[in-house]
Amino acid sequence: MLLETERMILRTPKKEDEYFFYQLNKDEEVMKFIRPVLDREQSKEYFHHACELTDALGMGYMIAVDKSSAEFIGWFMLKQFEETEKVEFGFRLMKRVWGNGLATEGALAMKEYAFKKLNLDHLVAVTHLENDASVNVLLKTGFEHKGQAFHYNTDVKYFELNKYNLMG
């Protein structure tokens, strides 16, 4: 699967992406609102799990690379939300690209992909209670804040996006 935005290519993971996953997962600022940083072995396991979740039907992780330089930017994903039938949207980007609108650009591409190509009707997302940057991306993408909830063993802000009631 392959998506293209103005500044990025979103594609399925390749073996060489494992190194870049590690660079992302060991950065304390990137991981501040997600979980403790991951060591090399933990990151490798997470990468292999991400690859297993990525299937021919278009669900899973998509690696974001810069169109002009082919540099790894981060990832976007659509996956089963915990033990539910819901599909969760998420993303993680390298610190060096923060503040340039790439998260919103990728999120909008994933929203369109989810609703038009995968024919999904509904997406959910969660953020750490203090992660204002991710909240802003979700709101710009059309997600509605539904309140505080408890997921992934922590309190989170919970968001939903319904393709029949889009705000953006």
Prediction pTM value = 0.91
Q: What is the CATH number of the domain that holds 18?
A: 3.40.630.30
Taking a C-beta distance cutoff of 8 angstroms, is the pair 131, 114 a contact?
Answer: no
Q: Which residues pair with 66 in a beta bridge?
A: 8
What is the pLDDT, as a whole number, of residue 56? 63
Domain count, the chain: 1
The pLDDT value given to residue 58: 78
Q: How far is 5 from 37, CA to CA, in rounded Å?
A: 29
Element (H, E) at 160: strand 154-162
128/155 Cα distance (integer angstroms):
7
CB-based burial label for 75 (10 Å; 0-12, 13-18, 19+):
buried
Largest CA distance in the chain: 42
**Are the C-beta atoms of 28 and 125 separated by less than 8 Å?**
no
Domain hosting 21: range is: 2-165
CA quadruple 87, 45, 35, 22: dihedral positive or negative? Answer: negative
Ordered mean pLDDT values, 10 residues apiece, the chain (168 residues)? 92 94 94 90 93 81 96 95 92 96 97 94 96 96 96 94 73
